Structure 1
């Protein structure tokens, strides 16, 4: 058994043993302290001892490999500490074994925590929420767009338990820079995601509702009280903002205002449904909510818009950017519209010498265009029967020739109403002072 003074030079000068063998150098001054060299050239410091004299089994405890942080001097000091434990009756092997077991338990606990947090990563939970919403939520696609646009950039793979109220408030405020309604939508979508977790039996064990940060999150106003009708000034701003956002959504919003159709009825429109010469738009049953064909009399402003729209060769879709599918991204488009309207309102206020910083606009949803069309036509003298047919609310119960005839019921009256509404909307968009305010009449 080789002995000598264990120093850096002595340790690094030890010869590498034959394959499968190990060699040792035991310190000449500190009994039980040594260094081992493997056939791979690895050098490790260790101690060797017996707890109960020569009759007991020899044990060895490794201190660490030669190099940083274990120099010969540091290893000697540690060996002295361990050998003192032996002298006092404490087995370093058992202590090392217990420490290793504790380390493994800690690592396992950390791994469990990492696995738990991975399951609760925002992007993971948001994807699960959308997958579940496809079965229960009619407007799940809008929720998905809000999440992708406003929430994922802020939270990404951040675990829900790590998302603070301050982070949520910052995210909502950032969305609100675009439009106040966008802030409210972001808040609602995020709250729905947290609620999804708290309603799931397995997930809520990982993240109970009591840990939710929403108690300290301020609900945004969303632009004020929502109304059913769009007032004249907002109609004017909306019409002007359509120029700001351009095609395709600018043209789409103007057609919504002129026809009273639903969003997807316009967005998924086909050129084959349009007769510009006769000023007719005949929508087939499969594209209508009530499952029946619907006729719209196109007013002169509507015809003008349709004639000005670009067309993709060999594509029947009126609103498409790729020639294959209708446009999408309605939530983003509405946010752009809101922002453009507010921008125009502030520019007008500044030009008039007012304070643009205090300008706000009432919130509205796209579906309010239908109510606005109905109210405007009512002001112009159209009967409720005519208006119901203009909006496609009436369900026909007869088939054959009678059913086809009913599609065009009140044809003259409907065409006249659409023409008058087009004139009214044109006057409003140009700032006509004598146009009756829709909201005043509706009050």
Structure 2
């Protein structure tokens, strides 16, 4: 029972107008008033005017049973008709010997919204770096599309249709990411006993046609476009973001890993950046040699109090809102006559540029922290090829700066 709550013996027939007029008598912390139409339904009123629906009943035989209070919700959010319906459901459950609170909790756990919240907590517990990105995607594309349905109501046809719709809208990268994140979430639900089997288990995309195989996503910018791109970076109203974009173009690392660069990860004297394993997509530590041009960019960044990030976002937090940040840069690119490009295209540009400069594939792939496909190389070659990577990135940075006229 809520603390020091007086039960008013007089009952009234609830109407919306009468409930709005209810007040808490002077000297009382709370008061509960009953409905004459629906047995057990009451409104608890506080001195501040807060009103909450409750079902008040006894569990156990006769008047010796324990008085239990079951909250329904705030009067402002739950209409009278819904409150009466819920009261009948609660009283029915009690009459059958069930615990309405436990039954409601069980029902919530078996629904999508509650499962997504639990999944988000598990990702946080496990320290997954991209957990916010994953959960936002699932909330928007899964919960936003299907609503708070029972998990068992998610079927393969609907999920595959959602993926296909994203692909048909030209969002292939987002579709692939959504498929991967949904599959991971559903497998987690199976592990937690919330589902018997994942509806996407064994599902495969249709085999790509020859035309689709020939179509390559994204693009690498040509040398003639790089000076224009460099100028477009200056259109960002945030000088930190402009420096961040230049660093992406000079190093070719992933956008999230670069955005999470900390001062403690960077040794400016040794010209080395160590990306910790918990941040990298590959899940392994990655050392990136820093050309002098990048060292100059990093050394010029202000060190904000309360943030250990080299490229902090708003409020010294990690960068977010990529689309909004890129809007003025893309607008400047269009005005300067540059074809559309994405942040990931900067990484493609670096990889292609290294190849054009004669850098061996093995070194270029190590710079991008791609997995080595040669099993024997993985097994026996434990060298980091750091000096070769340094030579390659120094050559690329010099090439870029020469193109933009600042080398």
TM-score by length of 1: 0.44
Bigger radius of gyration among the two: 1
TM-score by length of 2: 0.47
Which structure is richer in relative contact order (CA contacts within 8 A, separation 6 or more)? 1
